[in-house]
Structure 1
């Protein structure tokens, strides 16, 4: 009987986990940059059964995922494992290549920019990426680490491809994308 109760508790926790994240207020750095932002969706990335990070997409009400590259938003990643900056940058390039061809010179330049913006992370650390769409200037990706400014990449091609890792229809994790854009809300 105890095992039935334990299983029921795990199922309940799994169902309520995303709802609990959505009920959280936006971090201070998100509120400062996007005062009207609400949690659009949240999810946990697991790879081979290992929890990697919890992700939350913050945007103004009315966010249109099919046009994500035309709207301001923030993507918060709360890491559940330790990762080296170089590994995060390398994996990001691999994922970005799912959406576009990236030559080696650009890959090296972008990896260097990401290594400068992303420190090594430990479990519990947060990297939040802010996307500003192209307007008078090219699209910009700005990053904070545990709420503090960490870097900015001012390359109009980089920003939409980087955030496309999570939001593009070509993502390697379509279920994660669906949860982030609010498509699997009960």
Structure 2
């Protein structure tokens, strides 16, 4: 019952606030809406060392395999890793993530030094207990090397306004 009452605006991370949100589009079609939560003092240049939560609300259906494969392609833009790590991470991500339908919300939580936890409807659906995986995975959205710099700016909007030029 408590899970059903969980609101879309509930804070998914203790002490966190919504930093920004944006929409990923491909050829004009909305793929998902992303929302980022961070704790006070969050430093975007050192995102991998801080806890954060990223929620994706999908506007299209995707299999877990498709999400995992695309994620690994994007992670390669962020940093290098061995083919063995790539294989292991793709399998782990595919096992951790469910397939999604339009309207599904998937929440990823980055735990620095630990790994990533994934939730849907308030329940843990999977984990990848690898700190380097988690840093590169969330770098898909937060690294300066992201393939979507406009979305990155939107997600980090509130972190740029407090005392920064």
Give the alignment's TM-score, normalised by structure 2.
0.87
Aligned to 2:135: 160
Deviations 1:61-94 (A, max 9, x none): 2221111111111000010110011000000000
Distance of 1:128 and 1:162 partners within structure 2: 13
Residue from 164, 171, 175 that aligns with 2:150: 175
- Gaps of at least 5 residues in structure 2 are 1-7
Distance of 1:101 and 1:36 partners within structure 2: 32
**Structure with higher RCO (Cα < 8 A, 6+ apart):** 2
Distance of 1:121 and 1:25 partners within structure 2: 20
Aligned to 1:96: 75
Deviation at 1:37, TM superposition (A): 1.2
Deviation at 1:145, TM superposition (A): 1.9
Count of residues paired in the alignment: 153
Structure number, greater radius of gyration:
1
C-alpha RMSD of matched pairs (Å): 1.6
- Gaps of at least 5 residues in structure 1 are 1-23
Give the alignment's TM-score, normalised by structure 1.
0.78
Distance of 2:9 and 2:121 partners within structure 1: 15
Matched, 1:62 2:62: no
